Structure 1
């Protein structure tokens, strides 16, 4: 065992690179304790191991070299504790952000795995869907240009991480009166389905009650190509004894964030329905 260590020996002892130690030396964060008066060669002391270990740990919790220099400047118990508390709060915030991001990505992976079924395209199905909160500007969209700017405005109102990428949450509202009048390509209001915990200003909030929905999926564009699917859906309702009881939702299922193939772009139309009352003769 020896007291004086070369830069390579100290770096190896602490599992660091020699370049890191040279950088700490240049910025006066951690300097060798001894300088040979004849050769000018610099040596660290084994007794400096604790300081270097502290620097390494502070770097691991995300402190910059500038913050670490402040940490070592005239240290005392209270100052060190306050700095660590501040850094802990920052780490907790990052952990929460990462947890939210992980949750969103996990949900999208599960969703995309379920939606990738060609046998469900262009077929009407009935599904119970829970109540949803929509965030909307209550402005009708006439063109793809207006759609782009409308989506940007909605995204700016969200505080989530990676909120609507491939998320089954972006869509438009098709008014019941337009469907009944066979006006399938009328301008529509865009929306984003909000998370349950999201806080939405009242003027941008629309509640969609839970219940039974008739659904049909198709490939095409958001503001076009829905006429055929709406006709098929409404005909199916008439044949099976159901009727609409509210506005329909057209929701993006697979979009350009996932694929460049236009044939893979997918939407689902969801129409709230109920069974017609039977007549007792």
Structure 2
């Protein structure tokens, strides 16, 4: 993870050993690591994390957190809809499990005449 963050420019090791390629980080960088970890737990995309690391103002973090909150609200609505659909399907499946199997039989009947009346007939009584 640290190498990926280094690759995308999010962090930079304090020192890299040229022989072993081992990366060393300064204790002052741990605040950045904790901030990155915290924002990622909140679901913050890495580009937004990078923006915050470059502008650590209170206004910046408030805006980012409000945007993330809105995104989470949208996801909650979407997931609630999906959950409702799953619940409906489960109710249907339970109903099918409880019902008796239907046997369909084909029965041949003699031809019949069918009449269709468009208007309702009124019977008058005298």
Please give the TM-score of this superposition, normalised by the length of structure 2.
Answer: 0.69
CA distance in structure 2 between the partners assigned to 1:108 and 1:37 by the alignment: 60
RMSD of Structure 2 on Structure 1 (CA): 2.7
Q: Greater share of helix residues, 1 or 2?
A: 2
Give the 5 Å matches for 1:192-271.
none
Please give the TM-score of this superposition, normalised by the length of structure 1.
Answer: 0.33
Gaps of 5+ in 2: 108-126
Q: Structure 1 residues 39, 106: CA separation in 2 closer, same or farther (over 3 Å shift)?
A: closer
Aligned equivalent of 2:77? 96
| Cα distance, 1:48 vs structure 2 | 2.0
Pair 1:44 & 2:25 matched: yes
Q: Greater share of strand residues, 1 or 2?
A: 1
CA distance in structure 2 between the partners assigned to 1:99 and 1:30 by the alignment: 37
Gaps of 5+ in 1: 1-19, 123-217, 219-224, 229-281
Q: Structure 1 residues 36, 117: CA separation in 2 closer, same or farther (over 3 Å shift)?
A: closer
Question: Match of 1:58, SS?
Answer: helix
Pair 1:107 & 2:97 matched: no
Does structure 1 retain, via aligned residues, the 8 Å contact 2:48–2:64?
Answer: no
Aligned equivalent of 2:121? none
Q: Structure 1 residues 28, 117: CA separation in 2 closer, same or farther (over 3 Å shift)?
A: same
| Cα distance, 1:78 vs structure 2 | 0.5
CA distance in structure 2 between the partners assigned to 1:112 and 1:40 by the alignment: 58
